[in-house]
Amino acid sequence: MIAELVIFIILGIVAVSSAFAVILSKNPVYAVLFLVINFFALAMLYLVLSAQFVAFIQILVYAGAIMVLFLFVVMLLNLTGAIESLQDKLPAQRWLAPALGMVLLVEIAVVFLSGFFAQVPEASELPEGFGTSAPVGMLLFSRYVLPFEVTSAVLLIAMVGSIVLAKRRP
C-alpha cells in the first residue's frame, strides 16, 4: 500500500510538473516533448490502477502516433518566432489568466480537501482479468456498444473534415 502511494505521488508530480512545463516552455518542440512525458506519466498511473490495456493504448496512440505528428507539424512550421510576436496582443490577459486560473485551482483544492477524501469508498477486490483486453472488449461491445459506435462516427467526421479543409482543389 505504501509502495503504491509512493509511486502514485511520484507519478502525480511528474504528470503535473510536465503539464506545467508544456505551457511554460518557450520552445514548442520542448512543449510537445513534455506532453509526451505527461502522457507517459498518465499511462503509468493507469497501470497503477491495474488498467493495463488502457495504459498501453495510451502509449501507442498518444505518445507513439499523435505526438509524432505533433512534433512533425511543430518542426515543419518552426513556430519559435511566430510565438514571440503573438505574446503581447492583450497584455492584461497575461496576468489576468493565471490569476483567474489560480482562483479556480484554489476553489477545486478546497473542494477536494473539504470532503472528498472522507467519501472515497474502500478499494474493492478486482474481478479476474481486470483491465486486460478481454473484459475491456466485452464491455465495449456490450454495455457500451453505442458510445463505441458513435465514437467511430466522430472519427469519420474528423477524417472527412480534415480532408475537406486541407485538400487542394483543382
Partner 1 sequence: MTIPVSAADWIVINTELILVGTAMIVLLLDAFNRRISDRISPWITLVGVVGGLVSLGFLWGQEYTGFAGMLVIDSFSVLVKMAILFGTGLAVLLSVDYLRREELAQGEYYGLLLLSTVGMLLLTSSANLIMIFLSLEMLSIALYVLTGYARMRPRSQEAGMKYFLLGSFSAAILVYGVALIYGALGTVDLAGVAEALTAPGILSNPVLLAGAGLVLVGLGFKVAAVPFQMWTPDVYEGAPSPVTAFMSVSTKAAAFAALTRVLVFAFSDLSGVWMAVIWAIAALTMIFGNLVAIAQNNIKRMLAYSSIAHAGYILVAVASANQLGIQSIPFYLIAYTFMNIGAWAVVTVITRKGEEGVGLSDYTGLFWRNPLLAVSMGLFMFSLAGIPPTAGFTAKIYLFMAAVNANLIGLLIVAVVTTIISAYFYLRVTVIMFMHRPSEVSAVHVPIAAYVAIIIAVVATLWLFLFPNSTQAFTEAVWRMGL
Partner 2 sequence: MNKELLLTAGIHLLVAIVILGFILFVVMYMIWGLRRIMGFMQVRIGPNRLGWQGLLQTPADALKLLQKEDVIPKGADRWLFTIAPIIVFVPAYMVYVVMPFGDGLIAKDLNIGILYVSAITSIAVIGIVIAGWASNNKWSLLGAFRAAAQLVAYEVPMILALCVPVIFAGSLRMGGIIEAQEGGWFTNWFIFRGYGIPALAFLIYMAAGLAEVNHIPFDIMEAESELVAGFNVEYSGMKFALFFLEEFAAAFTICAIAVTLFFGGWHAPFPFLGENLTGIAKMAVSLFWFLAKTAVFVFVLMWIRATWPRVRVDQLMNFGWKVMIPMGLFILLAAGTVVTLGWVKL
Q: Least Å distance between CB 59 and partner 2?
A: 4
Sorted by sequence, the CB contacts under 8 Å of residue 80 that are 6+ apart come out as 26, 27, 28
- The listed partner (partner 2, partner 1, none) that binds 129, CB under 5 to 8 Å by sort, is partner 2
Query: Is residue 22 a contact partner of residue 35, using CB atoms and an 8 Å limit?
Result: yes
- The listed partner (partner 1, partner 2, none) that binds 169, CB under 5 to 8 Å by sort, is partner 1
Look up residue 124 and give its DSSP letter.
Answer: P
Q: Least Å distance between CB 62 and partner 1?
A: 15
Say how far apart CA 105 and CA 85 lie, in whole Å: 29
51 binds partner 2 (CB under 8 A): no
Produce one character per residue of 29-67: b if its CB has 16 or more CB atoms within 10 Å, e if not.
Answer: eebbbbbbbbbbbbbbbbbeeebbbbbebbbeebbeeeb
Closest to partner 1 by CB, 89 or 169? 169
3-state class (DSSP) for residue 168: coil
Q: Least Å distance between CB 132 and partner 2?
A: 4
**Per-residue CA distances from 166 to 33, 71, 158, 163 (Å):** 26, 19, 12, 5
Q: Least Å distance between CB 110 and partner 1?
A: 7
3-state class (DSSP) for residue 93: helix
Tell me which residues in 68-97 interact with partner 2 (CB under 8 A).
68-69, 71-72, 75-76
Task: Output phi, psi for 86, to 5 deg.
Answer: -80, -20
95 binds partner 1 (CB under 8 A): no
Which residues of this protein are in contact with partner 1, per CB under 8 A? 107-108, 110-112, 114-116, 119, 121, 138, 141-147, 150-151, 153-154, 156-158, 160-165, 169
Which residues of this protein are in contact with partner 2, per CB under 8 A? 29, 33, 36, 52-53, 56-57, 59-60, 63-65, 67-69, 71-72, 75-76, 129, 132-133
